Amino acid sequence: MHTLARAAAAAGLLVVGAGTALASVAVHQLSWGLPLAVAATVVTLVALPPGWWSRLSFALAWAGFVGWVVGPRADGGYAISSDARGYGLVGLALLVLVVGIATLPRPTRRTTPAPAREPRTAPPASLDSAP
């Protein structure tokens, strides 16, 4: 049940990440849009606990959505402009992805001990050998 709740939270955070990225792409050209997009994204990253099921899910969805819309649209235009604001948004996507991966918790050791091995014994030294 615990894993099911984590999976549901991760799915919800994937939707939230993609939605935040969609809003960021939509308003990044406005004078107040890019600062708002940066603030919303950074606050969300800081508020989420680090982990595979939480912060990384949000970061993957955010960066993945921006990566998906960075290419040309069907009408020949671009959703992200090729100016300082557009490059700032793409740079933010890279930063979000790096933060999501870099803040993953360290792997934990096993709780059950590994089976003990028998110590290797060296063959007895022979004193009978002459030089």
Q: Which pLDDT score is estimated for 34?
A: 92
Judged by phi (left if over 0) then psi (alpha if -120 to 50, else beta), residue 126 lies in beta
pLDDT by residue for the chain (131 residues), tens only, comes to 588 888 898 899 999 999 999 999 999 889 899 999 999 999 999 999 998 888 999 999 999 999 999 888 787 778 888 889 999 999 999 999 999 999 888 877 767 766 667 767 766 666 665 55
pTM: 0.76
Listed by start position, the domains of the chain span 2-102
Q: In the prediction, which pLDDT does 2 show?
A: 83
pLDDT at 106: 81
Tokens of 106: 């360290």
pLDDT at 124: 65
pLDDT at 3: 83
pLDDT at residue 63 in the model: 95
Distance CA 18, CA 44 (A): 13
* 2-28 CB burial, b ≥16 within 10 A, e <16: eeeeeeeebeebbebbbebbeebbebb
Distances from the Cα of 65 to the Cαs of 19, 60, 131, in angstroms? 9, 8, 77
Contact 23, 39 (CB under 8 A): no
